[in-house]
Amino acid sequence: MSGQRLNITLDGEHAAKLAALAARVHVNEGTLARSLLSSAIDDLDPDPTNVAALLDGIDGAWERAQLGVEQAASGDTIALDEL
């Protein structure tokens, strides 16, 4: 099974929540983040209208997505299992 590498940046509050939760369940933050993201994707309604509405509701999502594209293009990435 092949995977897709993603570069994900969390704000300080969400990074702290992820770190605290990972410490509580004794797993690597990257492993937990991968599991949470996979679960969220599995639970997502695939209707494109719902996806667009979800994304439109996230403040700064477009700007962060563009930054991620720029970072990925420049090779500025970290594997989740290296976090």
Burial of residue 83 (CB within 10 Å: 0-12, 13-18, 19+) is middle
Neighbouring C-beta atoms of residue 19, cutoff 10 Å: 14
Does residue 38 carry a pLDDT above 60? yes
What is the DSSP-derived secondary structure letter of residue 44? S
pLDDT of residue 64: 86
Does residue 83 carry a pLDDT above 70? yes
For 28, residues 6+ apart whose C-beta sits below 8 A from its C-beta are 22, 81, 83
**Could you tell me the pTM of the whole model?**
0.53
How would residue 46 be classed by pLDDT, with cut points 50, 70 and 90? confident
Does residue 1 carry a pLDDT above 70? no
Rounded-to-integer distance, Cα 28 and Cα 81, Å: 8
Q: For the residues 66-77, what does the mean pLDDT come to?
A: 90
Does residue 74 carry a pLDDT above 90? yes
**Who wins on pLDDT, 1 or 26?**
26
